[in-house]
Amino acid sequence: MDILIRKTTINDLAAVYGLVEELAIYENAPQELTASLTDYERDFTDGIFESQVALHDGKIIGTIIYYMTYSTWKGRMLYLEDFVITATYRQKGVGILLFKAFLQTAKEKGARLTKWQVLDWNEPAIKFYEKHGATLEKEWWNGKIFL
């Protein structure tokens, strides 16, 4: 299968947003997606997040969404916010292409580590990350406040 990985453009954001909607449904939390496509367009334009897309026959079939953050212990860190492949293209090698693109981007940006979250019940994702050498931390709890 011929897959192209490239940086996302503003014109790709509707498809990227659709993939995030698909992810929210997969994670049994569609009601949690409250950001709008307008929010995506504004925040992408403002450089709040970056993204890359995977294309097959000109159609966007996957995306990674990430942003630079900072670890006071390690330094620059690239955070992987979302990583989604549309259901019909999973288990076909698209994920590894996107993940490698994410890791390459982290290196290019001078990041010393990458971080992300994975749900404890998402066995396919956990196995994917472990297969590719990830350390999955289980001792840290997430904190958040909605404003």
Does residue 15 form part of some domain? yes
User: Is 145 a residue whose pLDDT tops 90?
Assistant: no
Return the active site residues.
129
User: Is 99 a residue whose pLDDT tops 90?
Assistant: yes
Long-range CB pairs of 10-13 (<8 Å, 24+ gap) are 10/41, 10/44, 10/45, 12/51, 12/53, 12/60, 13/37, 13/40, 13/41, 13/44
Does residue 142 form part of some domain? no
Q: What is the mean pLDDT of the chain?
A: 96
Does residue 139 form part of some domain? no
Does residue 136 form part of some domain? no
Give Cβ neighbours of residue 118 (< 8 Å, ≥ 6 apart). Answer: 125, 126, 129, 136
Please give the tally of structural domains in the chain: 1
List the domain range (segments joined by +) for residue 56: 4-131
pLDDT at 126: 94
Does residue 20 form part of some domain? yes
Q: Percent of the chain having pLDDT more than 70?
A: 100
Specify the pTM. 0.94
pLDDT at 142: 86
- Band the pLDDT of 141: cuts 50, 70, 90: confident
Does residue 144 form part of some domain? no
pLDDT at 63: 98
Does residue 58 form part of some domain? yes
Give the residue-averaged pLDDT of 64-78: 98
* 34-52: burial string, b at 16+ Cβ within 10 Å, e else: eeeeeebeeebeeeebbbb
pLDDT at 106: 98
pLDDT at 87: 95
CATH number of the domain to which 124 belongs: 3.40.630.30
User: Is 1 a residue whose pLDDT tops 90?
Assistant: no
Does residue 44 form part of some domain? yes
pLDDT at 93: 95
Closest CA to 37 of 19, 61, 58: 19
